Amino acid sequence: MRLNMMLALLVAALFAASLLVGKAWVPLDAWWSGDPRWAIVTQLRVPRALLGLLLGAALGLSGAVLQGWLRNPLADPGVLGVSSAAALGAVAALVLGVGSQWGVFAAAMAAAVGAMALLAALTWRAESPAAFVLAGTVLASLAAALTAFLISIAPNPYVVAEVIEWLMGALTDRGPDDLLHAAPFMLGGAALLLATGRSLDALTLGRDAARSLGVDLRRLQALVILGTGLSVGAGVAVTGVVGFVGLVVPHLLRPLVGARPSALLVPSALGGAALVLGADSLCRLVPGTGEVRLGVAMAMIGAPFFLALLLGERGRSWG
């Protein structure tokens, strides 16, 4: 509980910072005095910060749920192929010229949900988590191949540039409409994921023991797939692919909250939100007119960090 409070405070602080910083610094006194910079805050930064908050929470939460469900600390939303499928949908919309914001979102969302339905159908009788990882990997590879194919048939270089920019993942210039499209799906998906807690705890003892405790593994599977599909799919549909959050955040928090999967869910959501808000603010502080892409920044922060974490663990277990 105390950890949740501290994480919530951290999220609140980073949320406020996210409203203040950027290419134009909007000091607090400009918020009340009818300063024109106020429009930057309301039209750009509030929706952006809210999206960052939701995206981070969805990624952190789904990472924690998937790690618990697959009983593997290396799982993240990527293993189900949701992100790749949503990206495929968005790229298809861009290449085929359905370039409106709503069109891209709807296509990405439809692809994410379609991929999850396919995954559920492929693994309906599956007894082992390995089947999910395999099917998810196949889906992700297929989606990546189709995405590459679509880029190769793009009508002109501008579309290619647009696609590549989108794929890199960013919260740049996302407005209130993006938020309105994505938020209901992300919140709905998160609610489904939060309902998995006790079942994940029981799964710690293995499938048979969990079932003997009254856990319905079919229902759990449906919750995990649908919850991840909706929350991460909607996130990717508006922001592009942002990796590492779902992998690193639960991993970081596990030593603090203990290994019980249900205890990790809310802290991971808060931690993910804090990480994305913080990283997105840093992205905007880079000198020059451009911004570093959030997806790129996350990988650049995340990969060395994760490496350090693994090396540290190795030191502990060998020492």
Partner 1 sequence: MGLSAEGLTVALGSRTVLRDVSADFATGRVTVVLGANGAGKSTLLRAVAALVRVADGRVALDGSDVAAMPARARAQAIGYLPQDSAVHWNMGVRDVVALGRLPHGDDASGAIAAALAATRTQELADRSVRDLSGGERARVLLARVLAGEPRWLLADEPLASLDLLHQLETLALLRGAAAGRMGVVVVLHDLTHAAAIADEVLLLKDGQVLAHGPAETVMTPAYLASAYGVRVEMLVRSDGRRVIVPSGLA
- Binding region for partner 1 (CB under 8 A): 68, 71, 198, 201-206, 208-209, 211-216, 258-261
Query: CA separation (Å) from 145 to 37, 93, 155, 229?
Result: 44, 16, 18, 20
22 versus 246: smaller Cβ distance to partner 1: 246
| Least distance between partner 1 and beta carbon 203 (Å) | 8
108 versus 203: smaller Cβ distance to partner 1: 203
| Least distance between partner 1 and beta carbon 254 (Å) | 8
| Least distance between partner 1 and beta carbon 302 (Å) | 23
CA distance 249 to 271: 6
| Least distance between partner 1 and beta carbon 82 (Å) | 23
165 versus 201: smaller Cβ distance to partner 1: 201
| Least distance between partner 1 and beta carbon 131 (Å) | 16
| Least distance between partner 1 and beta carbon 212 (Å) | 4
156 versus 317: smaller Cβ distance to partner 1: 317
205 versus 256: smaller Cβ distance to partner 1: 205
83 versus 199: smaller Cβ distance to partner 1: 199
| Least distance between partner 1 and beta carbon 206 (Å) | 6
Q: Tell the residue number behind the tokens 């196949």, with chain if given.
A: 138
For 162-223, give the DSSP string: HHHHHHT---TT--HHHHHHHHHHHHHHHHHHHTTHHHHHHHTT-HHHHHHTT--HHHHHHH
Query: CA separation (Å) from 284 to 54, 115, 153, 280, 315?
Result: 19, 33, 33, 7, 36
215 versus 230: smaller Cβ distance to partner 1: 215
132 versus 166: smaller Cβ distance to partner 1: 132
| Least distance between partner 1 and beta carbon 312 (Å) | 17
